[in-house]
Amino acid sequence: SYNSLQTKVQKNFSHGFSFLATYTWAHSLDNASSANLGAQNGGDFRYFQDRGIEYANSDFDVRNRAVISGVWQLPFGRGRAYASSVNGAMNQLVGGWQVAGIASFSNGNWFTITDSNGNFANSDGQQRPNEIANPNGAPCQANTFFNTCAFVDPPLGSFGNTGRNTVAGPGLYNIDFSVFKEFRTSERTHLEFRSEFFNILNHANFLPAQTGPQFGINTTSLGVPEFGFLTAARPPREIQFALKFFF
């Protein structure tokens, strides 16, 4: 079950500038996502004869996501607003520059808390703890990303009342930026220089575990030392340069 509000503001390219901003407010629910996002969300059936009790946030559910992008041809050089009369080498130096950027902001995905302290349940599926407080409230332990005190071992013979995907993971804040320059070499050919900065602010976007199906996750399992701590992150700032010849 998926419902969303999707909005878009767009300025088509004119006067050397284009702009696009999108925002999505959404909620996705299911009882099994099989999304394999690489973070091993932890969702699984507790009791295979009653799969309906797992109906909850999807592994890929993201409540809020906004993306803003733009391209600007700098107004310098031959035929532009500034230095429009320059020719030759001076025009090659000051003209033809463009900048572009993409900013992305979103809530995190959802994770299921499991219990590694013992096998309390007479079930054929996953062992969960009992949830006794708001897991997304203020953390009770420093440097954890959710309220780890919201979970306790369940009584013997019970499944544990913790639902699937009740803990919100850390969100995303990322800005990419690029500067590129065109050098006209003939009427039919040109050379382009690009410098691209991914995560230009070097913002730390933490993760419960390293992404990829080859990596396990212990940070959402009650009873292990890593419970509640963020142990990985998305890539830091990366810079690359490119030179392209178009013909």
Q: How far apart are alpha carbons 125 and 142 in whole angstroms?
A: 32
Which of the two residues, 143 and 15, has the higher pLDDT score?
A: 143
The string of pLDDT tens digits covering residues 18-69 is 999 999 999 999 988 865 544 467 767 777 788 888 899 998 899 999 999 9
Q: Is the pLDDT of residue 213 over 70?
A: no
pLDDT at residue 184 greater than cutoff 90: no
Could you tell me which residue, 212 or 207, shows the higher pLDDT?
Answer: 207
Distance CA 209, CA 215 (A): 8
The confidence score (pLDDT) of residue 32 equals 84
DSSP helix, strand, coil percent of the chain (3-state; round to 5): 5, 40, 55
Residue 38, pLDDT score: 45
**Residue-level length of the chain:** 247
Q: Residue 222: enclosing H or E segment and its boundaries?
A: strand 221-222
Question: What integer best gives the mean pLDDT of the chain?
Answer: 88
pLDDT value of residue 39: 44
84-140 pLDDT, tens digit per residue, is: 777 777 777 777 889 999 999 999 999 999 998 877 776 667 788 999 999 999 999
For the chain, percent of residues with pLDDT exceeding 70: 92
How many Å apart are CA 124 and CA 143, to the nearest integer? 34
**Quick check: 234 pLDDT over 60?**
yes
Per-residue pLDDT at 158 = 81
The encoded tokens of residue 151 equal 């979970």
Beta-carbon-side half-sphere exposure of residue 129 (alpha carbons within 13 Å): 22
pLDDT recorded at residue 36: 52
Structure tokens at 212: 């990829």
Q: What pLDDT does 52 receive?
A: 87
Cβ atoms of 202 and 237 within 8 Å: the answer is yes
- Band the pLDDT of 218: cuts 50, 70, 90: confident
Paired with 193 in beta bridges are 181, 243
Report the percent of the chain where pLDDT is more than 90. Answer: 57
Q: Which of 33-37, 164-168, 178-182 has the lowest mean pLDDT?
A: 33-37
